[in-house]
Chain A
Amino acid sequence: MPVQYEKNAVVITPAPKLNYLHNYVQLPYDYGRPSYDKRPDVIAIRQTVRKSLADLDKETGWKEKFKGKKVLIKPNLVFVTPRSGYRYDYDIPQTTDPRVFDATMEVLSELCDDIIIGEGSGLVTWSYAKMAGYDRIAKKYGAKLIFFEEESIDRYFCPKAECGQEVYVPRIISEVVKGERLYVSHPKMKCNIYTGVTLGFKNAMGTFSCNMRYRNHTWQIDKKLSDLLYLFKPDLTVVDGIIGGEGNTPGPNDPVLMSTIVTGTNSVEVDRVVTEMMGFDPTKNKLLIEAGKRGFGDPDVKVVGKKKIVNFRPAEPTLLSERFHKNWPNVKLYVGHTNSRAPKLEKLSGNDHAFVEAMEATCAGGCIASLGTTFEVMYASYTYALNKNRALSVIVGPGAEYEGKPYWIGEDGKAYSLEELKALPGVKLVCGECSSPAKEVASLGGFFWIRGCGEVNNLAVRVAASMMPTLPGQADLKYLPIIGVGAIRKYLIKVAKAAIGDPTEPHFDAYHDGLYTIPELAAQNLDCDWVEAPIPNLERADRIQAVKDVRLLANFLF
């Protein structure tokens, strides 16, 4: 059971006016020494975090609930990208600022002896933790640092969930689920291409193993993440809003000077407040709507402090925006869907822009979001100038049906048949498993047909290949060895655990986007938020399959 607070509060604490643009992605070399402790930004951040948590304690008494308890604290480590990785002259604010995280750890370590820092970026968290300096923070406070994707998994059924009824989580999360360990979410204030914003409870995405991430990721991600709140929720949320991040995260985003820390005991309410501070309407954010619908918010929450509203540039899960066209004038989208959300194609020409947008939006969290992220990486890459005017046709979906034939709608409102797509100039990328009816159109003898359902790594590699010569993101080669070692380490651990029958990944069929149902439960379990569902012992054939389910990097690449 999570901590029960008599009343919930959200505290907004402004930080002193300073330039915080040094080391917001990576800790400096002198972390842990007097010279670091004397830095004005470090002093100011520590004071702000301490004040915010003290004010929150006055309202909710959270410190008393945490005293002597075991704690799991989860930052948000996506890519750790210092400025040298891209053509920008600033660091990429995707990761919880290690200076802020250190300040929170300082407060928590005064209350608790057993603290675990846990994170799963889905890629190579071990490397990212080292690059950002989280290993040094763990060492300083005597905390254990664990990487979720290397952890064996436990299974739960959530009968009340709408789309996430079967959930696999790292074993350490079971301690949180069962109330043996408290959970602190420590996200960064930033936009997200899949969910609009990524804050307190969306941060739990990092607890999923790689294969779990892709389940229902394409258009039901808001439901999936809200369903996860039935299983576990943050007992404390600390939002790092010192330097915010705007734009198409998880692609390279831009810094926003926010100089604010937001803390709270109900993560849905914290997220609601911060969403508003970022200039978005929380009543229109699907993730918050879904969480609210399930009753995880608290209408009686007390908000302490003044909301500083700064309009963040939104993440755009679209290839039809003005910005995208400006950045990539010759990349054209052809989209056609037949799913239940798609508008019906009634004419072969003269479809208006709103129709094309509606067609694209029916699966905005799938290939479109992955493409948006990938093009953002390419835009920030040192080789952008070489690729800016590249002609590329991007074909998404199985085609909208008209008189029994599939058609893909172009931005000009015209519906294109397979033959017409084939005749288009330049490289043709066909995106997603569902787009197999158009796979014969894909350039390079089908190599540019991108398999999987919204699978970003596989997609990114092919987009990059279509723009040769190119440099990928994180082009600072000095980090290549540490990322390489991290990838191999992760792979070996996962394979070893799968081989002994204690896997880190569930089996995953990534070629469809169906719901994963659970067996019929006993009547007394139907009203439970979650039911433990131990994974059966794996026979030899199952273990071989579990090893095959482990991928070094992408689901379809290796």
Chain B
Amino acid sequence: MFQALEYLGCGILWIGSMILTIVKKNPIGLAILSIMHGTEYALIGKKTGAEYGKKFFYSLVMCMTFGFTWWLPLKKQIDSETLTEKDFELTEDILAKFNH
């Protein structure tokens, strides 16, 4: 839900920037959004998308459109689900909590 709201917020930013560009002939909004999202894509979005298994074009479109609201949840999920051998050890704590 929050992600949907964040996407909605991004959409509003894009639409606002476009209106600003067309009506006021001021492309500053569009320029800022494009540069910010383009930088995010180059620095982290492309890598995160590939790691998650998303195709290049999909990652590009999503990152350019939604910026960090797209790649940050993916990165969080990747981090939480990247497990090591240690994560699969049956520790005393786990046994105490779930064993009968």
Contacts and interface: CB of A to CB of B under 8 A. Distances in A.
Interface in B78-97: 78, 81, 83, 85, 87-91, 94-95
B4 interface: yes
Given A257-B99, A478-B1, A29 B88 contact: no
A416 B81 CA distance: 56
Interface string A330-362: 000000000000000000000000000000000
A412 B59 CA distance: 64
Interface string A86-102: 00001000000000000
Nearest to B52: A29
A480 B4 CA distance: 10
A215 B100 CA distance: 37
Nearest to A17: B90
Contacts of B57: none
B83 A257 contact: no
A496 interface: no
A82 to B, nearest CB: 11
* Size bin of chain A's contact surface: 20 to 34
Contacts of A90: 98
A405 interface: no
Contacts, number: 53
B94 A19 contact: yes
A481 B4 contact: yes
B77 A19 contact: no
Question: For the complex, would chain B's binding face be called helix, strand, loop or mixed by DSSP majority?
Answer: helix
A97 to B, nearest CB: 15
A18 interface: yes
Contacts of A255: 98
B78 A29 contact: yes
Nearest to B3: A478
A33 B53 contact: yes
Interface string A68-90: 00000000000000000000001
A293 interface: no
A255 B83 CA distance: 20
Interface stretch (A20-28, A153-161, A541-549): A20-28
A15 to B, nearest CB: 11
A268 interface: no
Contact of A481 (B1, B78, B89, B100): B1
Contact of B88 (A18, A30, A310): A18
Contacts of B94: 19, 21, 257
Interface in A287-317: 310-312
A367 interface: no
A175 B4 CA distance: 41
5 nearest A-B residue pairs (beta carbon): A477-B1, A28-B81, A40-B88, A480-B1, A257-B98
Given A17-B90, A19-B91, A29-B52, 19 more contacts: A18-B89, A19-B94, A21-B98, A22-B87, A22-B88, A29-B81, A30-B53, A39-B88, A40-B85, A41-B88, A90-B98, A255-B98, A257-B94, A257-B98, A257-B99, A312-B100, A477-B1, A478-B1, A478-B3
